[in-house]
Chains A and B, each alone.
Chain A
Amino acid sequence: MSQEQPTLIGARVPKLDAPLKATGSATYGHDVRLPGMLHGRILYSEYPHARVLRVDTARAQALPGVKCVLTAADAPDTRFGYGRDNVPFKNQVVRSLRDEVAGVVAVDPETAEEALRLIEVEYEPLTPVFSPEEALAEGTPLLHPDRGSNLFQTYHYEHGDPQAGERESDVLLEAEYQLPYVSHACLETSVVVAHFDPHGRLTLWSTTQIPFLLQRDLAEALGMDGSQIRIIQTAIGGAFGRGLDIYPFEPIAALMARKAGRPVRLAFTRAEDSIAAPARQPARVRVRAGARRDGRLTFRDVSAVLDIGPYVSWGAVTPLVMMETTASLYKVPHVRFHTDCVYTNNPVTGAMRGYGNPQSTFFIETMMDRLAEAVGMDPVEFRLLNANEPDTVTPQGLVITSCGLKECLQAVAARADRAAGESAAGWGQGTPVSPARDPFHGAPPSRRRRGIGFAATLNVGGGARIYRSDGCGATVKVDDFGHVTLVTGATEIGQGSETVLAQIVAETLGVSLDDVSVENSDTDVKPWDVGVHASRTTFIAGNAACIAARQARDQIFETAAEMLEVKPEELIARQGKVMVRDDPERSIPISKAVRRRHFRQGGRIVIGEGWYDPPTRLVDKATYKGNISAAYGFGAQMAEVEVDLDTGIVRVLRLVCANDVGRAINPMAVEGQIEGGAQMGLGYALTEELLVQEGRVLNPTFADYRLFTAADMPRIETIIVETDDPGGPFGAKGVGEMGGTPTAAAIANAIYDAVGLRLTTLPMTPERVLAALDTHQPKDGE
């Protein structure tokens, strides 16, 4: 019966907040202005490692327009952050050039900035530590002496018998990888506005991704009770993991507001954001892997060292994800994974989209390519042979329910033979290309090589339990006019969660999308949620919204059943009406049923409540095994590249991306996630690197930190694979991070196909490619 078919699920619905954002009427963090608001600025350390001997604020204090100056003396002596190793202002030792030493509150940012220059700080430089190797060496100064070591944490994982795996291998390969610092490069720099009301309750306007954890962490950092903190999330101009922890500027803003007795806004400049906000950890990784002659994988052995900088954030948990790719992408009987997270006096690092997965997928999938070649198999055939399958449990304990890995690989491979020339016109190429505009500067065809490369990806798609709850709450209210309000714990960071959740609720209640609004920005109003990360929102918040909407629907059905004189089970909700399933002519508007329920003696309002915490568990502390996600997403990409043999320029002509998303609730939003992920993956592969020398970021502006711009983008072809996950709302799984995870590997493999070079350092800049070409120039016809 056609009326049973979902109508809004799978609909290409534009994002609900698109008009607001396109017309500039959305209120971002930078737009928040409160009456009497003051401006804060932070003074950072001049040394990567030093003792702070004296901070003299007298001259700054005396500058007209300055309201107050803060130092460590103004902050409670409690540590915060994932590693409990951070404080708002560093009172004894600074451990990086981004360390906060003092702060100024003034009538405008310029005055505050000027006052910073009047603060005198006396330092006693300490020996800095700029590499993990150095940090772990005997006799190196300790960043946090009370911890007894610069080694923050080690992750060691094994399954099977890696040594036996080596013996079973007919081919055994080894490679070392060097992965760079990468910036989130959010369009909106970090910003927060803090205000204490006369009762002493703190409100924070924030772009955080974890409002409830921040509420708790902030309470701890400020010595307050969580109930005294309210977090209001503004429209968020990019997050990508930057907002996945508490960072010092947040308690600092609160301390400033408290001391000044007025609202205080703290907004980073771009350069400040590149330096003081966390970056993706750089890593050095050694990989060994083997296969049998028949193509079956035998073992993987990965050792990585992560430079986490001076303080630990949730980003230090990224090895869990690197481990997951290493242990569970493809069927590998024997795996060993070892990672050391090491303190240094380099920039601070944190979580970033993919959370370790772009890194691990790069080394695992380039290794897969080499193994395929070593056993003489086609790279796609080789991957298909070893691919994960539905309804299996990996040795790591991942319970794989739906799995479209093979379909994704086959889908991108099917596009491999299509000649690139015809379809390669990228966005920047609407007009004919003149020789001067040609990215290859008119290189003769004999000096160019084309190649294609593949890579696949596995990512959590049903939440990821890294905290004791991976849950999300929701309520759905239906008012007398039939208008539906979803209040969800989930956070919108531009990924389109509002739209997708509204679709789920509208579909469940049988109303149109226009009848649904979403409230998701105020901890005083919305129910708890762990935060927006791990591609979890559609799955987790979607399930919670679905539960709440069903409960509201049941309430409506109860009343409608009385009115229509049938049993509730005989009813369906469609087109804003409650209908009798077998006799759709018999119906009443939902609003009418709500009013009937409401306006009577002993009446009730329609409000449904949903809480969804997936049936998963934290990994075992000793073995790191366990099913942390209720579903897993899969994907594959094919990159087609052209390499200029004389300049080392690599141009991606096409990127074909297939993703198993369970079910695409909104295909347009899925495509947006994949394209956006690809943009970040392309940058990771080819252009993006925060250059750090002796702890200093050398390229903190967008002039020198090179993101892919619209004009640089190749054509992105997206293919949606649907596997209808049994646990997801309407069968959906997460897709938020997968768009960018396999990109660097696919491009590296394509470069190999083009010129026979295996590159293991990212980004693969023209200079690096040319240097490699100098050691190996492909022969004609190669």
Chain B
Amino acid sequence: MTERRTMIWVMRAAFLVFVLGAWELSSGRLASEFFISRPTLIADQFWTWLIRGVIFYHGAITLLEAVAGFFLGGALGMIMGVWLGRAQTTAEVLDPFIMMFYSLPKVALAPLFVLWFGIGIEMKIYLTATIVFFLVFLNTYTGVRAVSRELIAILKLMGANERHVLFKVVLPSAITWVFAGLRLSVPYALIGAIVGELIASNRGLGYLLADSAGQFDTTGVFAALIAIMIMAFFLNSTIKVVEIKAMPWREQSSRREMSI
């Protein structure tokens, strides 16, 4: 098994070397360097930005927007999801409006948010929050609705009141769904922040990207993309760790050998 793992890692490295090598060699031969730049130049640019703190400065802004929007939208989504999941009549009344708003591509709201909140980081936070809100809300709502009614009846026979039912059954059993929504939201939070920056800003990785493109600096564009990729990877890994910590019973069962 470990031998197989080693081989997989070796093959991954080989694949990476092959792709980067092909890119490096074709640049200036098969395609113009102006359009595709080359890995060595990109690495050089990235390194320069890194040691000058450019990446950290802009990355911190983007991270702040994504994380703040993520928490704001996530918290509101969870609260709304739990509330509407328990209040069936209200949920039915609001259903068509929620669905209408849900089907709207949220980035289309960006111009409106610029008008309302200006081009500062608030606008990116609200845009991100709007996107995350719906994902988390719908998942939480589904999770709360999916709680077994028999389980609730069995708890009520034990003398449980509404508060017990909510905290001992509904919320913990919805948490799997909430986390599915949160994990799904991480890339979207980054999308919200970056799109916001692309539309109007003077800071952030999205700005760095747009600014490089505006100067026809392909190398800069690729270097900014790499920074964004690293941030996305970092955010995804973080939520995975948090998820395992918050739901240890799932980790336990996944450690069992596969069986059906």
Please indicate whether A and B come from the same complex rather than being unrelated chains: no
Chain A residues engaging chain B, CB cutoff 8 angstroms: none
